[in-house]
Chain A
Amino acid sequence: MDAISVNQLSKYYGKARALEEVSFTVSEGRLVGFLGPNGSGKSTTIRILLGMVRATSGTSRILDQDCWENGPSLRQQVGYVPAELHCFIHLTGADNLSFLADARGVDCQNEIDRLIQVFQLDLSRRVRDYSSGMRQKLGLIQAMMHRPRLLILDEPTNNLDPLVRQMLYGELAQVVKRGQTVLLSSHTLSELESLCEEIVILRDGQVVDHQTMETMRSRAGRKITMVFPDSEKLPDDYPEALEITACQGNRITAAWNGPLEPFLSWISTVRIHDLVIAPPDLERLFLSYYGHYQTELRS
């Protein structure tokens, strides 16, 4: 069963377009990245999935149920961390969690206790006295405490220090191992690259790509540095796919797109002093999706 199924989803605010015919699916038990620059439509899609915003057209389903029609019963199985979390600041952290658990009608004290240990959060203080990082931890705990089948995280690492980020990544790995699904929205590629199995890329309210990380990596160019024994005797029959970017004496720097086998076959036929093949450069690949966006930003 698909945990999320979005089909031809559009949302307009008056004449302003937020989403245009967005379609994608997320299978159960997967950790899927939702990548896009600010204003690309990630949060609008998430708000439609949570029943907070009505789509202008198209369908959105979670666990095979319509997000708007079956919102309340669906949300029992969904946990959500908003990009900017606003808790009830006059209550303590414990009272916030207690109210949210009671409103859900579930007893999740054991899980709360476990998550407090993981994230090291003091629940006895009022939320108004929390730092932004502590508030974010509270948001993560409230989203995970009822062990939802689907966890939607909208830029969850905002305000978290690197140590807590690692704790969150570890926790998310456990969540997926238990069979839960995670939709992780971010505008930071490195975060998604290390965690996600597949990735949905949004730009200007449209899905521009939806691939597994494996496919993404195979598409991404690798930086290759070759050092030949003699600058006078450099090879003259380079493979077509090898894009030479710099040549300094006997050192050649190049970019390689696609599977490595053809390159390795070729390199085995030449004499070489040193060879460095860097991991796929996803950053460049993703930036290529936002070329038009970057041009606009620069202008």
Chain B
Amino acid sequence: MNGALTAKMTRDSAVVVLMTSVALVLFGFLFVLAMSNWAQDLLLLWSKIGFIQRMFRFVLSIDLQGEVTVNTLIVSGFVHPFLLMITWGCIVSICTHFIVEPIDRGTADLLFTLPISRATYFVSATAVWVSASGVIACAALLGIWIGGEWFDLTPPLPIFRLILVVMNLWILYFAIGCLAMCVAALVNRRTQAVGGMVALLLSSFLINVLEAFIPFFRAIRFLGLLCYYRPVEILQSGNPSWTHIAVLTGIAVVSWVIGCGLFMRKDIPVA
């Protein structure tokens, strides 16, 4: 890794990481507030609506007919669309910023004529966004933990199990980031990279939602990244699914290696 380059990348991404982290802490806190006040009413309401029950059973693995606690609902915040949207947006933004934006904006003529190999550049960029995704994942946990302490929940939040959930969340981010780097290495315009990743992540999200209602999507659910991220299952069992972690890690490693290979060999065009 190149120290100056890594420091610059860290500075470049600091503001977006900080803003995302603050938003996640606030979101976690407010989500706990909402659930601690209205969980029972919400459960009563939702248990009467078949549509909601089906969706919860498939997407969150929560059976509203069975025993559901406030903690279970709080953990569902880890798959809340708001959380997914801003964290995915942050990671895709950082990864494409490092890999394809210099080509798009023309600063590649300065960066890639430095005595730094493209592999070193790719590794430096990876180190920065992997650290950033760790901060983001911890911020999501921090908000919920602060909320749990603030509102004195009964029973208290199982912090160890929440850490396992965050670990699974971070590995999901790892896979998304590596995919984003791979897509960014493939194209020369940032809008193309972001567009490709939005299409990919939106498809993944839709597969996860639609599988509750359309059998076809149940058959292809393995194609969606969210199939390998089940926070409520971890909360209930106390064990992460090693199969899910292995699949996400596999996706990350394969796409990182392909992305790095593409990036090392690609022609840098004039902006």
Contacts and interface: CB of A to CB of B under 8 A. Distances in A.
B115 A86 contact: no
Interface in B68-120: 105-110, 112-117, 120
Contacts of B114: 75, 100, 103-104
Contacts of A80: 109, 113
Contacts of A83: 270
A224 B108 CA distance: 51
Given A85-B109, A86-B105, A72 B115 contact: yes
Nearest to A13: B267
B66 interface: no
A43 to B, nearest CB: 6
B262 to A, nearest CB: 12
Interface in A1-55: 43, 47, 50-54
B109 A53 contact: no
A103 B113 contact: no
Contacts of B155: none
Contacts of B108: 52
* Interface residue SS majority, chain B: loop
A86 B4 contact: no
B115 A84 contact: no
Contacts of B109: 52, 80, 82, 85-86
Interface string B1-43: 0111100100000000000000000000000000000000000
Interface in B107-151: 107-110, 112-117, 120
Nearest to B268: A52
A100 B270 CA distance: 20
A281 to B, nearest CB: 33
B109 to A, nearest CB: 4
B106 A50 contact: no
A83 B2 CA distance: 27
Interface in B232-271: 265, 267-268, 270-271
Contacts, number: 70
* Band of interface residues on A: 20 to 34
Contact of B115 (A53, A76, A99): A76
Contacts of A261: none
A88 B5 CA distance: 13
Interface string A141-154: 01000000000000
A159 to B, nearest CB: 15
Contact of A103 (B5, B265, B268, B270): B5
A71 B117 contact: yes
A87 B107 contact: yes
Nearest to B265: A54
Interface string A74-100: 111010101111111000000000011
Contacts of A75: 113-115
B101 to A, nearest CB: 11
Contact of B4 (A51, A76, A102): A102
A73 interface: yes
A100 B265 contact: no
B267 A53 contact: yes
Nearest to A43: B270
Given A53-B267, A86-B106, A72 B116 contact: yes
B267 A99 contact: no
A84 B267 contact: no
A75 B267 CA distance: 17
A72 B268 contact: no
A52 B271 CA distance: 13
A100 B115 contact: no
A100 B268 CA distance: 19
Interface of A: 43, 47, 50-54, 71-76, 78, 80, 82-88, 99-100, 102-105, 142
22 contacts: A47-B267, A47-B270, A52-B108, A52-B109, A53-B267, A54-B265, A54-B267, A72-B115, A72-B120, A76-B115, A80-B109, A82-B106, A84-B106, A84-B271, A86-B109, A88-B107, A99-B4, A102-B3, A103-B4, A103-B114, A104-B114, A142-B110
Given A53-B267, A54-B265, A83-B270, 7 more contacts: A43-B270, A47-B267, A47-B270, A85-B110, A86-B109, A87-B110, A99-B4
